[in-house]
Structure 1
Amino acid sequence: MNQALRLGFMPTRRRFFSREDAIKYKELTLAKIKALAPDVAIVDLESLNDEGLIRTVEEGERAAELFIAKGVDGIFCPHCNFGTEDAVALAARKVGKPVLLWGPRDEAPTATGERLRDSQCGLFATSKVMLRMGVKFTYIPNCRLDTEVFANGYLNFLRATDAVKHFRGARIGQVSTRPRDFYSVIINEGELLEQFGIHVVPIDLGKLVKEVRDLLRAPTAEVRETAAGMSKTANFTGMSTELPLKLAALKMALLKWQAAENLGAAALQCWDTLQDELDLCSCFVHAELTDGGFPIACETDIHGAITSLLLQSCSHFREPTFFADLTIRHPGNDNAELLWHCGPFPASLAQGDRKICRHFVLPSHAEGVCNWQLKDGPVTISRFDGLRGKYSLLCGEGRTVPGPYCQGTYTYVEVKDWPRWEEKIIYGPYIHHVSCALGRYAPALYEAARHIDGLEFDPVEPTREEIQAALREGRV
């Protein structure tokens, strides 16, 4: 999981325009995208012909075969002059990955009145052919290479491509059944597989508990090192001395399962059986695993786990998500809401003391709950959910604001019009669970949803029109 993105670089030209200028812009564009995102593995077409540019349908077919063989996650097709619309569209359809279209803005005609590229004109042609062939694509407005419009549009496409990569065919772990009373997290496993290729991979809680007990009977050096690391990450004052080791054993058992099943995220039944069997709450383990790039959703919320995976991949797994309840309105701010959960927010997102406590709601009052406030900043809130075969992605952005202390992990988030959010969530198909991240990822989720068949992007704020304007203007 979480490997570096691999991008197919598929520049194109048409024979009627300047060959030299097309090659020049191919090289300038390649250098620019390597500088913008050096971690992305670029698969170019230098082995295809003497120019490294697509000029014919036959070359497009060979480019598609190369990209498939190399396992690219997306394709960038700069029109270095007018381009070759049929070759580009046919190749993109064959590869079946997210496509980015762009062409450099032309300079003034030469002194003799000649134009060297006509890139914009060719993009109008290519886009129509792609639409006719059912190829979904992202477009950066015709602009110069050294602009924010290009840089931010390209980087946003990479974020969206990473999200699509991890969403399609995702393997989501399910630890035990949903809580008996939680009808809200009922899902249709068959639809997820049929519509999105998403596999739900279950494990019996009894098997997981046995694995944890075996590790506790004979703790490995890795388990002991993990426990020591946990004790440095958070303050365990007042907790039992064996708690870090028990949490470490649970973490290592879950990581072993993740590796064996190639899981991208998981949903875990975190009460009451875990408390009965192991006398702990798993909240800090959720926080640790999510911090490490394996997002965990509480209360066997499969759709929540899918959302967390989608959102965390928008940052290329450099920033963790946090899984929250929408709980109560801010007592003194009509446009702010408390985002809270018992204690699974990653420690890297905390401000102030990071303390491990007992659960203050469950009758067992078991140990292992995190107690800290989220650090300040912009927040993206999202939820993948569905009813009767139709799926949508709730998305919006806000900013943390001060509010009254709460036990557990929490923050207050202010938006422009909370009643509008509340109305949208109430009328569904959403629930009280949301996956969130510090940062602004609505544009990336907007573009990701464009490339996922059967998923409707459902923004609150910014609106669809505001996101589109921000992308056109390079403000993402």
Structure 2
Amino acid sequence: MDENIKLGLVMLGRPQFDISLAQQFWGRVKTALESWGIDNIVALEEPVTRPQQAISAAQKLQGKDLDAVLVVQGTFTDASLILNLTRDLALPLLIWAIKEEPTGERLRLNSFCGLNLAAHALTAAGRKFKGIYGEPDTPQVQREILAFIRAAAAIRWLKGKKLGIVGQRPPGYYTSNFDEIGLYTTFGISVEYIPLFEVFSLADKINLEEQEASLTSNLDGYKQVEAGAVQKSLQGYLALRRIAIDKALDALAIECWPDFMVTYGGAACFALGKLNDEGIVAACEADVNGAITMLLAHYWSDKATFLADLVVGDKEKNELIFWHCGGAPPSLIARNLKPVASVHPNRKVPLSLYFPLREGETTISRLSPGKDGRYRILLGKGIGLQTPLLFSGNTLLIRLERPVTSVLDTILSHGFEHHYIIAYGDLIQEWREFARLLDLEIVEF
């Protein structure tokens, strides 16, 4: 993902300070960015020292298809430079000031004070920005800067994405309601509606003869499940995949029950897991906001994610169990195990894949519309523990950093939906920056 990020790089300075020393810092910043994998940089080599230069620098950066602009606060400057630079440059903005060691002599840079003036002016002007203070080789500084850049890149990447709703939400699943206009105006995501009969009609025409063996070769117990329903399930996957590709859809929110099983005769669980492993994000129960959360978590982690219900909270052990019916991506299976072919745990229709998920650091997230229509993000993290399968379907036991009692109270008191997206890795700072840039409410547990 980072290789696709495009960043503008500018330095502000004042001639009465040590511009030469500031330029050394600017060079270290550029080298650090490249070492972190950000090598598509539009760098303006000449320091910006006058208001008219700032306007000219902005004009040079416009039209360069940038994700964000990083401003190096090389020395002290008054706020006119940053206001002129950003006047017509509507891009996520990061300003980086350098720490100056006391020498007993004059301030050579006074970089932080310049950032302070810029922060005051931008805040008064209602302009969002992020200020950073520190050395490039500081791990915390690196993490903060990369999180900001990755969040800014995700915002740009989302614009123009297409999500397909297959069927409609199950009766009473108000948690799958969504605001189509809000999705477009907030994230730039458009929605396409696909009736279930279109999927079923296409699926019934697909010949499995050459594909069934390759799709099921890694499944234990495949011969023990009812063959006709299994073939329906496999045909359903192939139909959904073809529709997603033909319509250039980036994500799907699928009505996986009741009609998939009752009317069509095969479960959608296998398709959900397989599509996610192939990079076509797919959420069950027509959960649109869940699918968008998965889309972002997949973008940042470069791995498939697990959409799950929270089913057990252990207050003594400070652990939560997340579960779903058998549609988890097989790439997330626990070590040394193979997926087991089986039936949907409640409807008893194949094809679901049973397995526990692997251990590792996890981020738990959920995009959700609040009562006022403003989007919010639920965020938490923990450590996934390797266990045997805890319930039929897919399970992951996560040990939390915070008390379970507090976590459950936060979820319930804020009225969050019942689906949570589990991603491997620590994506908390990316989510925070994403929310801050888009003015989303953050609810952490």
Shared fold (TM-score, shorter chain, > 0.5): yes
Matched, 1:395 2:395: no
Within the alignment, does 1:337 sit opposite 2:331 as a pair? no
Q: Which amino acid aligns with 2:148?
A: F
Q: Determine whether 1:366 maps to 2:349.
A: yes
Q: CA RMSD in A?
A: 2.9
1:384 matches 2:378: no
Q: Which residue of 2 aligns with 1:325?
A: 309
1:185 equivalent to 2:176? Answer: yes
Q: Which residue of 1 aligns with 2:9?
A: 9
Match of 2:124?
A: 132
For residue 201 of structure 2, give the secondary structure of its aligned residue in structure 1.
Answer: helix
Percent of aligned pairs sharing the same letter? 26
Matches within 5 A, 1:68-467: 68-83=62-77, 85-92=79-86, 94-109=88-103, 113-140=105-132, 142-167=133-158, 170-214=161-205, 216-217=206-207, 224=210, 229-235=214-220, 236-239=222-225, 249-276=235-262, 278-315=264-301, 318-330=302-314, 333=316, 335-351=318-334, 352-362=337-347, 365-386=348-369, 387-401=371-385, 402=387, 405-415=390-400, 416-453=402-439, 455-460=440-445
The alpha carbon displacement at 1:191 in A equals: 3.2
The number of residues matched between the two structures is 439
Deviates more, 1:5-14 or 1:392-401: 5-14
Contact 1:7 1:76 in 2 (8 A): yes
Q: Is the 8 A contact 2:164 2:191 kept in 1?
A: yes
- Residue type at the aligned position of 1:4: N
Distance in structure 1 (CA, Å) of the matches to 2:247 and 2:98: 44
8 A contact 1:93–1:133 mirrored in 2: no
What secondary structure is seen at the aligned counterpart in 2 of 1:446? helix
- For residues 248 and 76 of structure 2, the distance between their equivalents in structure 1, rounded to whole angstroms, comes to 43
Partner of 1:24: 24
Residue number in structure 1 paired with 2:50: 56
Counterpart CA distance in 2 for 1:397 and 1:370 is 26
For residues 29-74 of structure 1, what are the alpha-carbon distances to aligned partners after superposition, in whole Å with 9 as ceiling and x for unaligned? 1111100125x5222224xxxx2x3333444334434444121112
Rounded Cα–Cα distance in structure 2 between residues aligned with 1:431 and 1:12: 46
Distance (Å, rounded) in 1 between the aligned partners of 2:123 and 2:406: 34
**Which residue identity lines up with residue 405 of structure 1 in the other structure?**
L
Alignment check: 8 A CA contact 1:166 1:313 kept: no
For residues 423 and 163 of structure 2, what CA distance do their matches in structure 1 show? 19
Deviation at 1:404, TM superposition (A): 6.4
The SS at the match of 2:118 is helix
Q: For residues 408-459 of structure 1, what are the alpha-carbon distances to aligned partners after superposition, in whole Å with 9 as ceiling and x for unaligned?
A: 0111222231121211221233121111112222222111110013x10111
Which structure 2 segments of 5+ residues have no match?
A: none
Q: Distance in 1 between matches of 2:213 and 2:11?
A: 51
Q: Cα distance, 1:192 vs. partner? A: 3.0
1:315-368 deviation digits (Å, cap 9, x = unpaired): 2xx2221100011334x8453222001112221211122222111211xx2222
2: distance between equivalents of 1:70 and 1:406?
Answer: 51
Deviating above 6 A after TM superposition, structure 1's stretches of 4 or more consecutive aligned residues are: 241-245
Secondary structure at the aligned position of 2:70 is classed as strand
